[in-house]
Amino acid sequence: MSSDIQKVAAAIEHTLLKPDATYEQLQKYCDEAIQHGFCGVCVSSSNVGFIAKILKNTSVLPIAVIGFPLGAHPTSAKVEEARSVVMDGAREIDMVINIGALKNREYKIVHDDIESVVKAVKPIPV
């Protein structure tokens, strides 16, 4: 594999966020990520424990998305979800921001929402 292709592959998060994702599908995504040298596999918070076990002894990161899909969850719920996925093995978190607050130019709400999650799971990257 050429160096450029490896660099691209290493930047890819293989993502499966379907609410009806099966263990078989999740296993396939993990296998593909390992095979191709992807950076991580990103899944719903309820599936991160499953993929974390599969990816345990690999360089592929188990990644959980929180606040999905709309970002409209209360900050306290996002903080709890973030803590929970870290306990389940997430090594990175993708967070959906409060889109409504952003569109309303409520920048302090957006900032505080993100900051609360980041502080709750430090040093895990968000």
SS3 state of residue 112: helix
Q: Phi/psi zone of residue 67: left (φ > 0), alpha (ψ -120 to 50 degrees), beta? A: left
pLDDT of residue 114: 98
pLDDT single digits (tens) 107-126: 999 999 999 999 999 999 99
Burial class (CB in 10 A: 0-12, 13-18, 19+), 23: exposed
SS3 state of residue 35: helix
Q: Within a 10 A sphere around the Cβ of 2, how many other Cβ atoms?
A: 7
pLDDT single digits (tens) 31-82: 999 999 999 999 999 999 999 999 999 999 999 999 999 999 999 999 999 9
- The strand pairing partners of 44, in sequence order, are 65
CA distance 105 to 89: 34
Phi, psi of 2, rounded to the nearest 5 degrees: -70, 160
**Domains of the chain and any CATH numbers:** 13-121 (3.20.20.70)
pLDDT of residue 4: 83
Region 13-17 average pLDDT: 95
